[in-house]
Amino acid sequence: DIDSEGKLPILKEVKGKEIQTNGNIPTNILIEGDNFHALSVLNYTHKGKIDVIYIDPPFNTGNKSWKYNNKFVERDDLFKHSKWISFISKRLRLAKNLLKNSGIIIVAIDDYEIHTLRSLMDEIFEESNRLGTITVVHNPRGRNDDKYFATMHEYMLIYSLKPESTSVGYFELTEEDVNSFNMTDEISQYNLTSFMRTGNNSDRETRPNLFYSIYYNPKTNNLDLKKNSNAIELLPVNNSGEEKTWRWGEKTFLEKKDTELMVKKVKEVYRVFKKRRLTNMKGKKPRTVWYAPRYDASSHGIMILQKMFHKKNIFPYPKSLWTVFD
């Protein structure tokens, strides 16, 4: 990095290695070289134009897989964390310039630098722009050479320049997911979820406009905001006696109550439930833990490369193809 500062890197085309395309399909570019130089060039040609950046930097484990200023950083180096931060900080700042406002950057990392990297990215991209931290179980067997616990996972930190302009896709519903919508009415398949809010911002003090009485008539199965004969008052109070809130305000309740709500008796207490409709599902929202056979880096990373190139260990620590594809 020191030798390259103040100099202008250039890209040189290697004839005969073009990536061929058909018709109007955009041309893809494969840049081979030092990533700092490549990012510097792209800052002249692609600033503010990139949708997604995926970075898999050296994890700084002290296993002689990473050099800083032309020297390997040993595990017992007292400055190994500061050297790594200096190294990655320059590259992250260059990468930030390339993103569109709606763009996303994903950085893979493990336990050695997760805390330093997260603090650094909070500084560069701003903490409020962190979309999430995903744990990927890439080694379901666990590392047997670990001293205390057999490590099975690593992480992906995901940030956007402007989350309000960013959209995150959904996974397709599996057959098991579809089968969980095990009830049907004249509209669609559905399953039930509590109409009472839980979790953050679900208490009466925080959302007082969502705390109100619902009156249920067991004989007519009717729900209303007005008390009438034979009606039972229902309030968003949980089993611990805590005053919570309903999911909708009164206006939305009146509009949707006849088709989207139902009451069931649970342990001698009437509870209001909302119908979660299969037709309204965009898919499955990505979870923060990815634990499935397709994320196994050995089966879907190392083995694929060995079959492609007929060599062992052609590339150290590859990710599963599905970790990047999903």
Amino acid at residue number 205: E
For residues 265 and 61, which has the higher predicted lDDT (pLDDT)? Answer: 265
Amino acid at residue number 141: R
> Token pair of 36, please?
């700092």
> Token pair of 49, please?
């134009």
pLDDT value, residue 87: 87
pLDDT value, residue 259: 96
pLDDT value, residue 81: 79
70 pLDDT more than 60: no
Residues 26-41 pLDDT 10s: 667 888 888 888 899 9
pLDDT value, residue 2: 45
Residues 283-304 pLDDT 10s: 888 999 999 999 999 999 989 8
For residues 222 and 80, which has the higher predicted lDDT (pLDDT)? Answer: 222
3-state SS string for the chain: CCCCCCCCCCCCCCCCCCCCCCCCCCCCCCCCCCHHHHHHHHHHHCCCCEEEEEECCCCCCCCCCCEECCEECCCCCCCHHHHHHHHHHHHHHHHHHHEEEEEEEEEEECCCCHHHHHHHHHHHHHHHHEEEEEEEECCCCCCCCCCCCCCCEEEEEEEECCHHHCCCCCECCCHHHHHCCCEECCCCEEEEEECECCCCCCECCCCHHHCCCEEEECCCCEEECCCCCCCEEECCECCCCCEECECCCHHHHHHHHHHHEEEEEECCEEEEEEEEEHHHCCCECCCCEECCHHHCHHHHHHHHHHHHHCCCCCCCCCCCHHHHHC
Please check whether residue 138 is in contact with residue 295, taking contact to mean a CB–CB distance below 8 angstroms. yes
For residues 87 and 10, which has the higher predicted lDDT (pLDDT)? Answer: 87
Give the Å distances, CA to CA, from 121 to 90, 179, 325: 12, 40, 23
Confidence of residue 277 (pLDDT cuts 50, 70, 90): very high
272 pLDDT more than 90: yes
pLDDT value, residue 66: 59
Please check whether residue 95 is in contact with residue 47, taking contact to mean a CB–CB distance below 8 angstroms. no
pLDDT value, residue 7: 66
pTM for the structure as a whole: 0.74
270 pLDDT more than 90: yes
Confidence of residue 72 (pLDDT cuts 50, 70, 90): low
Residues 205-256 pLDDT 10s: 999 999 999 999 999 999 999 988 889 999 999 989 999 999 999 999 999 9
Query: Which whole number is the average pLDDT over 270-285?
Result: 92
Residues 111-138 pLDDT 10s: 888 999 999 999 999 999 999 999 999 9
